[in-house]
Structure 1
Amino acid sequence: MNYTVLAYTAYLMLTIGLTMWVAHTLFKNGQVFLVEIFGGQEELASSVNRLLVVGFYLINIGYAVYTLESMGAVANTVQVFKELSRSVGSIILILGGMHFLNLFIFFELRKRAKNRLA
């Protein structure tokens, strides 16, 4: 196995693993907000929560696969780590950004729901 294939494999495993972990965390903890936003309708909140997770997977894994090509050829072990740190770092920044975007949206929706009930 050459270094490029090793780097690609490690990159995909790391990014998909991170994406799954973040999605699970968002799914588990976002449920409470969605139930409140949807006025206690747990079935609707669960459905929307699952749809949000699917969208999250599609965006993040799609981006990870799309940017795989930008790694280029890797000739040695040092380059493997450099490319992995750059590529995985960008995915982590994107996951963090999407996490804060989700939080912002949840809090805005929650605020609107509370104003509507008041």
Structure 2
Amino acid sequence: MSPVVWAYLGYAVIGVALVVWVARTLQRYGEVFLLDVFDGHEDLARAVNRLLVIGFYLLNLGYVAFALRTSDGIGTARSAVELLSTKVGGVLLVLGALHLGNVLVLSRVRRRRLAERNPVPPVPPAAWTPVPGYPGPGMPGGPGPVARPA
């Protein structure tokens, strides 16, 4: 077989193995995070986890297949290894970017849920409450002046 075919086979095997390994790891450890995001609703967390993994497989295996093609001539083992490392590096970058995107979106959902659970007080504090042994506003070592409401 020619070096091009070996490079293609190596890339396909490594790329698919990486996608499967990362997807299984994310599915296993991501469920705990999703349970927290969805406030302990196990059925919802499992369903979202499965959907995320399916989307992860589709996007990444599609990228592996899409990036398989090359127009570079491969005449030596060195050029085959260089091509293989470039292709596998692209797969790793896509895997990392998609994982980061998922974590950011789910963190935002979690943060919004926590904010709804702990609302901001309706009225800001209007005065300073003195604490025994602590200097008051305007005193040496104390906080600056307290803004009074208009």
TM surpasses 0.5: yes
The answer to which structure has the higher helix fraction is 1
Q: Which moved more, 1:23-32 or 1:84-93?
A: 23-32
Q: Deviations over 1:64-112 (max 9, x none)?
A: 1011113544222111101001111111111111121111112111111
- Alignment-derived partner of residue 83 in structure 1: 83
- How far, CA to CA, are the matches of 1:74 and 1:58 in structure 2? 29
What letter matches 1:37 in structure 2?
V
Distance 1:85 1:6, change over 3 A: same
Higher relative contact order (CA 8 A, sep 6+): 1
SS of alignment partner, residue 51 of structure 2: helix
Q: Residues 37 and 109 of structure 1 are in contact (CA less than 8 Å); yes or no, is this contact kept in structure 2?
A: yes
Q: Deviations over 1:36-91 (max 9, x none)?
A: 22221101110110110010010011011011113544222111101001111111
- Alignment-derived partner of residue 67 in structure 2: 67
Deviation at 1:27, TM superposition (A): 1.2
What letter matches 1:23 in structure 2?
A
Distance 1:71 1:58, change over 3 A: farther
Question: What is the Cα-based RMSD across aligned positions, in Å?
Answer: 1.4
Structure 1: runs of 5+ lacking an equivalent: none
- Alignment-derived partner of residue 19 in structure 1: 19
Q: Deviations over 1:2-42 (max 9, x none)?
A: 11111111001111111111111211221112112222110
Q: TM-score, normalised by structure 1?
A: 0.91
- How far, CA to CA, are the matches of 2:71 and 2:37 in structure 1? 42
Larger radius of gyration: 2
Q: Residues 33 and 110 of structure 1 are in contact (CA less than 8 Å); yes or no, is this contact kept in structure 2?
A: no
- Alignment-derived partner of residue 116 in structure 2: 116
